[in-house]
């Protein structure tokens, strides 16, 4: 399978080691990065919130409960110290890094390593779609292979959207199988 030129380059992340973002109600805490994929308006709003503490290089290592969430144990990645903070809610943001280095050379990826699909394959420089027909919305540079959710370039990085994209990709697969009597 011929792929786009230059797609075997090494991938680098714009993010630090923290892949998660957490917010708690009692003492909000955000292992947080500055990245084009993390909206500027969201960063400004977080920075301006008096009840949110931004913590860099921090990860959740435990959560305590007596039937419901009561606290989190946070570990500082720099010195290894842990801190217990009260919490009754936890929101986790994942998908900021695609972890697609294993796909380089097989599927067309954008400069951040996310999989190109649909119209983005035609708009790429150089174009990464080799068939005469247009690619389906979630179709990758390998015809009849689909990508959905956070791995896809341009996705909104939200679970509800990923579920919808997954259902759509499944529909594309069923249609392809039916067209080929499989």
Summarised one tens digit per residue, pLDDT across range 8-28 is: 222 222 223 333 333 333 344
Q: What is the C-alpha to C-alpha distance for residues 6 and 89, in angstroms, rounded to an integer? A: 44
Q: What is the C-alpha to C-alpha distance for residues 181 and 48, in angstroms, rounded to an integer? A: 58
pLDDT of 158 reads 81
Cα 155 from chain centroid? Answer: 8
For the chain, residues with pLDDT lower than 50 are 1-3, 5-37
Identify the H or E element spanning 168: helix 159-179
Phi, psi of 164 (to 5 degrees): -65, -45
| Domains of the chain as residue ranges with CATH | 22-92 (3.50.50.60), 101-179 (3.50.50.60)
Give tens-digit pLDDT for 75-106: 999 999 999 988 877 766 665 788 888 888 89
pLDDT of 40 reads 64
């Amino acid at each position: 399978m011929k792929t786009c030129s230059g797609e075997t380059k090494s991938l680098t992340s714009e993010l630090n080691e923290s892949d998660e973002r957490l917010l708690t109600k009692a003492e909000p805490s955000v292992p947080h990065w500055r990245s084009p994929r993390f909206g500027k308006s969201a960063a400004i709003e977080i920075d301006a919130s008096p009840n949110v503490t931004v913590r860099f290089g921090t990860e959740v290592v435990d959560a305590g409960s007596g039937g419901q969430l009561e606290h989190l144990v946070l570990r500082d990645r720099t010195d290894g110290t842990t801190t217990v903070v009260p919490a009754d809610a936890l929101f986790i943001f994942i998908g900021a890094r695609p972890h697609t280095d294993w796909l380089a050379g097989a599927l067309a990826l954008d400069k951040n390593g996310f999989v190109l699909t649909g119209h983005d394959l035609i708009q790429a420089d150089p174009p990464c779609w080799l068939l005469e027909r247009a690619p389906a919305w979630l179709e990758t540079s390998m015809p009849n292979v689909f990508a959905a959710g956070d791995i896809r370039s341009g996705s909104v990085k939200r679970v509800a959207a990923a579920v919808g994209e997954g259902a759509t990709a499944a529909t594309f697969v069923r249609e392809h199988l039916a067209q080929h009597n499989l």
